[in-house]
Amino acid sequence: MCLAVPGKVIEIWDTETTRMAKVDFGGITKEVCVAFVPDIQVGEYTIVHVGFALQRLDEKSALETLAIFASLGELEMEFGDPWDRAAVEAGVAGKAQEAS
Amino acid sequence: MAELLDLQAWTCPVPLRDSPTIVMGHGGGGQMSAELVDHLFIPAFGGPAPGGLADSAVVTLGGSRLAFSTDSFVVRPLFFPGGSIGHLAVNGTVNDIAMSGATPAYLSCGFILEEGTELAVVGQIAQDMAEAARIAGVSIVTGDTKVVDSGHGDQVYVNTAGFGLVPDGVDIRPNRAQPGDVVIVSGAIGVHGIAIMSVREGLSFGSDLVSDCAALHPLVAAMLSVTKDLHVLRDPTRGGLATSLNEIAVAAGVGVNLVEKSIPIPPDVANACSLLGLDPMYVANEGKLVAFVPRELADEVLEAMRAHPLGAESAIIGECSEEHPGMVVAKTGFGGTRVVDTPLGEQLPRIC
Amino acid sequence: MKYLEEFSDPELAKRLLDDIHATVTQRWAIMEVCGGQTHSIIRHGIDQLIPETVEMIHGPGCPVCVTPLELIDKALEIASRPDVIFCSFGDMLRVPGSGRDLFRIKSEGGDVRVVYSPLDALKIAQDNPDSQVVFFGIGFETTAPPNAMTVFQAKQLGIKNFSMLVSHVLVPPAIEAIMQAPNCRVQAFLAAGHVCSVMGTSEYPPLVEQFNVPIVVTGFEPLDILEGIRRTVHQLESGQAFLDNAYERAVPAQGNPVARALLEDVFETTDRGWRGIGVIPNSGWSLAPKYREFDAAYRFSVTDIATEESSICRSGEVLQGFIKPHQCSAFGKECTPRNPLGATMVSSEGACAAYYLYRRLEAAAPLVPTADGRREVASIG
């Protein structure tokens, strides 16, 4: 039900009944009906399902989401294992590493 | 003339009971096609060929080993980016012969033409066949033409058959694949099928994708110059790479492990497949081969392939194993596991 | 392709998986509603990568699986008529009706055509004025706007030889029915991202309230699915239940108001039978009376269809997560992808079809745990 693919709008025109666009999916272009996103602009991205653009893709939101993913595990990378840290501070780093 | 087959006598536990008529899936190159062959044609013709079913049959005549093959072409549209039914008709049979390691020499061709088809169309197809034959270095030496009533037959159907000599010491057949063999593909997959789909009614794209239709025996010759001990060669046409690998896995009783990331797929093909919900592994190719090569020779064979224009993008995509015999399993880009099964019939675009 | 590759990054996937593994302390059962999500999970082996204690129950979010048998049979009847060109999405071609499918109809001479878009069917109608062109308008809310627009255009252009056989199904009533079923094992839902792109998210907080289940709006790329699962397990582990939107780049809270306005005009809500589950009240859309002239169910009076579901098929129980496919006695025997008894074995994301492949694999080569918590076939390096 949900196979919808993101593409970039490269041309827009009106027909007698509706608004159409040429959408670029990474080199493959296809004519798509954009009646449901009537204010979409050339250069914007949209998701396309069975020949219709259903929603605009929000770039800012996409970047934020990717940033969340990238930040996972970072805290640990920055501060490392708390036991190791304590051992280093106590001057017994070598032994802590052997033990772990 | 054989009597009608007695369906009661079929030994297969799952006969074609759900389909008393031929359906399109029987032509798709997948499981249904295989069943039609296994349970209808082979019993009629007297048992399977030794070595298992391959692209071509290797037979002995007068002391010479010949690879002999036939193929029929019903492609729509007749003309597509990168070629026509004419090019396919020659290269298809040439490649089937080449997959036994033979150098293709002579072809026949048979035409079934629909009344009303324009002569210019037939003429162009004949020209394309001549061109492909010239490039492939084969001669079309005999043929036949039949005309059917308008409305029967889709303008032009072509059949070609052909043979070539198999060099001494070469024994290439599906059931020679063994655990440890390395699987190599000669280039990017899915190109022909997507090029066709780009023209077919209702699914048109604006891209520059052209069919990869080509004669492969020069590439095979380059591989054989490294070693005669290639185990399996297959050109993955209908049903795509997945179907060919499954057929080989079953014939040889080995498991095949693939690494998805290493399978070359052009971005255009990947994107077109995304759009339609198709899997590139199941999309037809017309100028590619997949090889099962002994492990110790794999690097050398790969190098020879890459040095040849037809194999410039060759890549190792996996290996054979003793586990899960008859099944093809792929490691996905994330390290997950995915079973790559044979398609049942045609692969269709989906919305889900 | 932009917006796809970034959301398939294996390095980021690893981080999401590490977080999931670090968070999960007990068994959880999560249902992904959408068939497209099921497809993605299986396609990328995500179910092998998440902790074994997190069970993904593949829900009834596949219109192929849930389109009622009577409607399939009606479609087959219409497609068999000599003056009809029957157009359908590819997904529906192998779905078994009472003994036949669209492929068989085609082999018997019916003009059955696969189309990518309902607009292609409208064009076929314009190009073939002497034929009746019927489009099989199935799908969830995602596909409803395209189907609605097609009927709307047919009316605007006065294309008299076009009609649509409509069977839309809706996600929120399905979630309600699943949660109300006795023996329901589902503890959280991944809501269907593209359904919400159209409908927005407002239908889900009441369900969260009523059943105290986390619902996370989730996309389809591997990272989207992992993030949906990640946010879900965080809620479950901390005993919370709220609506979370993990697919904001394609789902604004209000959805697509333009699409929803057209849906109000073209469709009306109706009770709908879900194959294998039964009738769920107000769970479907059919064409509104003002578009009746384009309703194939009215244009073709199809009478006396004797529907006959396989008596041993248990796809309904599978769709609701009560049983696993291999617990059905027909699984792998009378019922295989080659000879499916029910839609869950036909559909590429049907739970039974997916299981069939994996059971064969596990029987032949058991999956072994790896150092980083995945499971894989031992010999894949």
User: What is the reported pLDDT for B69?
Assistant: 93
Distance between CA atoms of residues C353 and B344, nearest Å: 12
Q: What is the mean pLDDT of residues C323-350?
A: 79
Mean pLDDT of chain C: 88
How large a percentage of chain A has pLDDT more than 70?
Answer: 72
Higher pLDDT, A1 or B118: B118
Higher pLDDT, B204 or A10: A10
pLDDT tens-digit readout, A53-85: 999 999 888 888 888 888 887 655 555 455 555
pLDDT at C381 over 60: no
Distance between CA atoms of residues B303 and C279, nearest Å: 62
Nearest chain A alpha carbon to C37:
A2
Residue boundaries of the structural domains of chain C: 24-64+178-245, 67-170+256-299, 315-362
**Chain C hits for B325, Cβ within 8 Å:** 364
Give the Cβ contact number of residue C99 at 10 Å: 13
Give C230's pLDDT tier (boundaries 50, 70, 90): very high
pLDDT at A98 over 60: no
Contact call for residues C30 and C229 (beta carbons, < 8 A): yes
pTM, 2 dp: 0.85
C108:B21 CB<8 A: yes
CATH superfamily name and code, C67-170+256-299:
HypD, alpha/beta domain 2 (3.40.50.11740)
pLDDT tens-digit readout, B302-313: 999 999 999 999
Q: Determine contact: B119 vs chain A, CB below 8 A.
A: no
pLDDT at B52 over 70: no
Q: Determine contact: B207 vs chain A, CB below 8 A.
A: yes
Query: Å from B276 to nearest chain A CA?
Result: 8
The secondary structure of B18-34, three-state, reads CCCCCCHHHHCCCHHHH
Q: What is the mean pLDDT of residues C303-311?
A: 67
**Nearest CB neighbour to A3, from listed B207, B271, B351:** B351
Distance between CA atoms of residues B310 and B136, nearest Å: 13
Instruction: Report which residue type is found at B53.
Output: L
Contact call for residues B38 and B15 (beta carbons, < 8 A): no
Q: Determine contact: A96 vs chain C, CB below 8 A.
A: no
Nearest chain C alpha carbon to A16:
C157
Mean pLDDT of chain B: 86
* Most trustworthy range by pLDDT among C281-295, C302-316, C321-335: C281-295
Q: What is the ipTM of this complex?
A: 0.89
Collect all residues with Cβ–Cβ distance below 8 Å to B17 and sequence separation of at least 6.
Answer: none
Contact call for residues B136 and B90 (beta carbons, < 8 A): yes
How large a percentage of chain C has pLDDT more than 90?
Answer: 56
The residues that bridge with B156 in the sheet, in sequence order, are B113
Fold of B55-170: 60s Ribosomal Protein L30; Chain: A; (3.30.1330)
Partners of chain B (3+ Cβ pairs below 8 A) = A, C
C358:B203 CB<8 A: no
Which chain A residues in 2-41 lie under 8 Å from chain C, judged by CB atoms?
2-8, 17-18, 25-26, 33, 35-38
Query: Cis peptide before C63, with omega less than 30 degrees from 0?
Result: no
**Nearest CB neighbour to B275, from listed A1, A5, A22:** A5
pLDDT tens-digit readout, C202-218: 999 999 999 999 999 99
pLDDT at C133 over 80: yes
Q: Which long-range contacts (CB under 8 A, 24 or more apart) does C99-102 make?
A: C99/C308, C100/C76, C101/C76, C102/C75, C102/C76
Give C143's pLDDT tier (boundaries 50, 70, 90): very high
Query: Å from A12 to nearest chain C CA?
Result: 18
Q: Which domains does chain A have, with CATH numbers?
A: 5-57 (2.30.30.140), 61-93 (no CATH)
* 3-state SS, residue B315: strand
Q: What is the mean pLDDT of residues C298-323?
A: 77
Distance between CA atoms of residues B247 and B263, nearest Å: 18
Give B55's pLDDT tier (boundaries 50, 70, 90): confident
Which chain B residues in 247-306 lie under 8 Å from chain A, judged by CB atoms?
267-268, 270-272, 274-275, 277
Question: What counts of helices (H) and strands (E) characterise chain B?
Answer: 9, 14
pLDDT at C280 over 80: yes
Site of tokens 């798509």: A32
pLDDT at B131 over 50: yes
Fold of B174-339: Phosphoribosyl-aminoimidazole Synthetase; Chain A, domain 2 (3.90.650)
Query: Å from C256 to nearest chain A CA?
Result: 7
Residue boundaries of the structural domains of chain B: 55-170, 174-339
Nearest chain C alpha carbon to B331:
C380
Contact call for residues B73 and B191 (beta carbons, < 8 A): no
pLDDT tens-digit readout, C177-194: 989 988 888 999 999 999
Query: Which residues of B lie inside 8 Å of C (Cβ-Cβ)?
Result: 14, 18-19, 21-25, 31, 202-203, 255, 257, 259, 267, 270-271, 274, 276-277, 321-327, 329, 331-339, 341, 344-345, 348-352
Contact call for residues B337 and B330 (beta carbons, < 8 A): yes
User: What is the reported pLDDT for C378?
Assistant: 63
Domain C24-64+178-245 has CATH 3.40.50.11750: yes
How many interface pairs between B and C have CB atoms less than 8 angstroms apart? Answer: 144
Give C317's pLDDT tier (boundaries 50, 70, 90): confident
Query: Å from B68 to nearest chain A CA?
Result: 39
